[in-house]
Chain A
Amino acid sequence: MSVAIDSGPSDRLVARDIHVRRGNRCILQAVDLSVAPGRLLALVGPNGAGKSSLLNVLAGLLVPSRGHVTLDDRPLDQWSPTALARRRAMLSQQVHLDFAFSTNEVVMLGRSPHPPNNSAVMGDQGIVEAALRAARAWELRGRNYLDLSGGEQQRVQLARVLAQVWEQHDEPSWVLLDEPEAGLDIAHQHFVLEHARTLTRQGYGVITVLHDLNLAARYADDVALLAQGRLLHHGSPAYALDPHTLSTVYGLPLRRITLDDDEWILVPSRSQDKGAATERVRRYLSRI
């Protein structure tokens, strides 16, 4: 019974009391977050809430001004960059690449942290091909990266990220995604999140920033709602995506509509007074 919970605290990705300041601005304030592998966590919140910053902190890319992140109970700054790179990969929002690599070469860059003759069962080339398939970019193989559209480039970058942590060894690996749905058509948006779920079933921990609340509701195991650098809610989608809180946080009245198959979606209400909502936001935020 306790098997599911009892993976132990050691293989968790834990953020403790994270503060990030940039100049006088507080980007993140006192964020505590403990994430278990094998689950899909969605970070949601309005623009400027600190979602990407939190993801960067969790990846070890951004050093918080206070607090720290641990993986396997070890602070990230005590990990060697290569060892960390073999355990977690991250897809950033925008990756600029101005050189005419082929798509396969771009994905092969994901294998950089692994020694040239690493012990991967499939071999690096096999992994590159498998990652291209997994990211639904197989038909783009061998193309010049610069000839691709934005969405196609995004899929190739996703394949690169997947290739980086393709084979897990003793410990679970982590995949962090910053708005992976951005720039993708509706089919590819769902493919990406479907694949993220597949990863969690293989034991990966997946943390993704999502703007689309309905994607979060549908695919995430857990949702963390951020606003103004604070973590407001962390829990099941039904709990964290409470329409009342969301309406105040986003300043847009939102309501849930339950669909026939017990799913629900969030849509803006039509006839609410927007001024009243804005006032509610103001009062709400002054309290937190």
Chain B
Amino acid sequence: MNSIALPRSHARSRRTLTLGGLVALLTVTVLWSLCCGAMDLSVREVIGALGRWLSGQMAHSDDLVVLMLRLPRVLLAMLVGAALACGGTAMQGLFRNPLADPGLVGVSAGAALGAVTMIVLRGALGLAQSAITGSLAITVTAFAGGLLATALVYVLGRRRQGVATLLLAGVAINAIAMAGIGLLTFLANENQLRDLTFWSLGSLGGTDWWRLAMVAPPIVFALVLLPRSARALNALLLGDAQARLLGFRPERLQPMLVALVALAVSAAVSVSGVIGFIGLVVPHLLRLAWGPDHRILLPASALGGAMLLTVADTLARTIVAPAELPIGVLTALLGGPFFLWLMLRTRMGEVRV
């Protein structure tokens, strides 16, 4: 089709070109996002603010808007988007199913259960009600919930060989987590219900450097390590047996990849709430453009996810300003129709687990 036999050097330069282009696009997106907001700033002002900050010069008065309000939020959007998209790519490769997303192994539902538990029960547990420590506690329990659910899915799912069991365990754990969320929702009072709804719709509102610093390490760690398994993921697309014949160890790769995805996605969800479809849409679009080679796909989906979520978050905080649209609603609005199109386009026989 679009990919003809390319000599080696061409293949490599294609990779450089692709990733370079995405980095350039992402830079433009970030600058645009930093300009947008309640107070319109020009690109020159934004670049000036960043320059003064990086070179340690005296800050101008408007610089604070860029540095304290917008920059951490944009950086967080980038990290969360990258984590979701890169995690989605890895899951789709691992499950050999283009319709897989990180939620399949229970990360999202587990994180949501963790967050909702904290929202509803913190009063009962006598924990501090102040907004800051409250949101911090939610982040921590959501993160723990995501990791825990994934670990549980993994322990249950590895009793039999192959990824199908893992998938089934994921479905079951997802259902149980959802039941838990339902029960807690039933128990929640008015105020808690509002918090809970807000969280489950997803938002990057109220981001500061503190929150960014908390979730950046696990996400960056996973994003750096995931592309190192690119060749193995390519081989895994042929099936576990073929990957083993090619010298890989699926029995080691599988837990490692699941752990890295759980780490990145739990961290992302814990700070942003549930943001759907990024993990599904981004890898798909990129696969249509550049084929399924994970050596390009993993870094490209991290960049693409960063870009898409930055755009989505900028829209979320500007189109109904001074109010904010929940970002999860925006991404679902974008992702839902796309998912349907994908589903109708993919013949059922082509999707095997």
Contact = CB atoms under 8 A, between A and B. Distances in A.
Interface of A: 59, 61, 80-86, 89-90, 92, 95-102, 104-105, 109-110, 112-113, 123-125, 128-129, 141-144, 146-147, 164
B350 A102 contact: no
Interface in B1-56: 1, 3-8
A25 B352 CA distance: 29
A86 B234 contact: no
Given A84-B247, A98-B98, A164-B246, 9 more contacts: A85-B245, A92-B245, A99-B287, A99-B292, A102-B5, A104-B3, A105-B3, A128-B5, A142-B3
B98 A109 contact: no
Given A99-B98, A102-B1, A125-B7, A112 B248 contact: yes
Contacts of A164: 246
B235 interface: yes
Given A81-B244, A109-B246, A96 B239 contact: yes
B249 A99 contact: no
A109 B3 contact: no
Given A100-B292, A123-B8, A95 B249 contact: no
A92 B238 CA distance: 11
Interface in B225-276: 231, 234-235, 237-239, 241-242, 244-249
Contacts of B98: 98-99
B238 A97 contact: yes
Contacts of B239: 95-96
A88 to B, nearest CB: 8
B195 interface: no
Given A98-B352, A102-B291, A61 B96 contact: no
Interface of B: 1, 3-8, 96-98, 231, 234-235, 237-239, 241-242, 244-249, 287, 291-293, 350-352
A83 B292 CA distance: 27
B350 A146 contact: yes
Would you call the interface of chain B mostly helix, strand, loop, or mixed? loop
Contacts of A142: 3-5
Give the most central of B3, B248, B287, B291: most A CB within 10 Å: B3
A61 B248 CA distance: 12
A94 B167 CA distance: 22
A61 B292 CA distance: 26
Contacts of A86: 247
In order of increasing CB-CB distance, the 3 nearest A-B pairs are: A85-B247, A113-B247, A99-B292
Nearest to B93: A99
A109 B238 contact: yes
Nearest to B97: A98
24 contacts: A80-B247, A81-B244, A81-B247, A85-B245, A85-B247, A95-B239, A96-B238, A96-B239, A97-B237, A98-B96, A99-B96, A101-B292, A102-B3, A104-B3, A105-B293, A109-B235, A109-B238, A110-B246, A112-B247, A112-B248, A129-B5, A142-B4, A144-B3, A164-B246
Give the most central of B96, B242, B244, B293: most A CB within 10 Å: B242
B245 A61 contact: yes
Given A142-B3, A142-B5, A146-B350, A109 B234 contact: yes
A141 B234 CA distance: 19
Contact of A59 (B3, B5, B245, B351): B245
Contact of A101 (B242, B248, B293): B293
A100 B246 contact: no
A81 B5 contact: no
B352 A61 contact: no
Contacts of A129: 5
Contacts of A97: 237-238
B350 A82 contact: no
A187 B114 CA distance: 62
Contact of A89 (B1, B237, B245, B249): B245
B293 A81 contact: no
Contacts of A112: 231, 234-235, 246-248
Given A95-B242, A100-B287, A143 B1 contact: yes
Contacts of B237: 97-99, 101
Contacts of A82: 247
Contacts of B245: 59, 61, 85, 89-90, 92
Nearest to B96: A98
Contacts of A95: 238-239, 242
Contacts of B7: 125
Contact of B1 (A80, A92, A124, A144): A144
B247 A96 contact: no
A147 B244 contact: no
Contact of A98 (B231, B291, B293, B351): B351
A105 B352 CA distance: 21
A21 B231 CA distance: 34
Given A86-B247, A102-B1, A92 B241 contact: yes
Contacts of B242: 92, 95
A105 B291 contact: yes
Contact of B8 (A109, A124, A147): A124
A26 B292 CA distance: 40
A124 B12 CA distance: 13
Given A112-B234, A129-B5, A146-B350, A85 B293 contact: no
A115 to B, nearest CB: 10
